[in-house]
Every structure is written in C-alpha cells, then in structure tokens.
Amino acid sequence: MTYRPAESTFGPPFAARIPSMLYLIVALVVVLMVAAAEAGQSASLRAYLIERPHPIEARTFAALLVLGAVASLLRSNMRGVRIRGDAVEYRDVASLGWPKVRRYKWAQIDRIVFEGQVIALDLWDGTRAFLPLVSDVRGLSSVLETVAAARAIPVKGGAGLDEIPDSGEFDTDSP
C-alpha cells in the first residue's frame, strides 16, 4: 500500500493576475463608452464612435476587446501546481499563450528542494524541475513535505513537519 495524498491545487500569485484584470477593466470601460454613445448620452461621443466611419465598428471592437480580456484572464488562471494522488503536476503558460503542463510521478522524484520561495524537484535522471510561484507557498510546502515524509523522499530545506497528520490523511490504496 502506498500513501496517496488528497488532491489539492495551488493557483498563481495575485501579482500574476493583475495585468489580465486591468485588461478586463479597460475592456469593460470601452463597452460602457460604446453603450453610452449608442444611447445618445453624449453627443460628441456618439459623433466620434457611432457616426464617424471607422475600419471596424465600435460594437465589434468592444466585443473583441472583451473576448481578448476574458481569454487573458482565463490564461493567467491556468498557472499553478496541482498535487495529485499519483504525481505532482505544474501548469504554466509558455510563449504565445501556449500551455505547458508537466507531471512528475512520485517515483521520479529523488529529492524535494525548498529554497525560500522557490521549490524544486530533483528528478531520477539528474535534472531539476522548478515549480512555478504560487499564491500559497507555505501550503504547498506543507503538502509536499507531508508527501515526502510518507513516501520517504528526501527533503532539503523546508520548515519541517510541525504536527502529526490526522488519521484520515494517510488513507491507503492497494496497488
């Protein structure tokens, strides 16, 4: 029987979400401006946005802007680390918005390294995989240290286990 931790997810830090939130706010302001112009609340705004010829219609532009902002917000929330029963998985966004998902089985991990805010996994093939920054670094460290203690994975750094886990936390599965 092997220790299988409960699944837990750790999202990106709030600072990583700020640019996409600002983009969404700007897009919503543009939508409100177009709606105000179409309702005729401002004559100069209506003349500039609605009556004046543009290469793309104001409503279409606002809709595309909101669609891009929502996509950006979803993309920024895709990042993070997920602890699964059989592996640790991290999700990040590579260049041009292409998602990058890496999954490392517990048997592949030779050592877990905690260096301040940075958490790395030393793998069986001699490489080191760095986990992305998450919003709850202490929580992720605690879960990884618990798994390491239960699976006899060496740990370098870390805070150490400060309490005995609850009895339900060490549920076992037959292989």
Phi, psi of 169 (to 5 degrees): -75, -20
DSSP E strand boundaries for the chain: 2-3, 8-10, 80-83, 87-93, 99-105, 109-115, 118-123, 128-130, 155-156, 172-173
Cβ atoms of 2 and 173 within 8 Å: the answer is yes
pTM for the complete prediction? 0.72
- Please give the Cα distance from 160 to 175 (Å, whole number): 29
Banded pLDDT at 28 (limits 50, 70, 90) = very high
Share of the chain above pLDDT 90, in %: 39
The per-residue pLDDT for 162 is 55
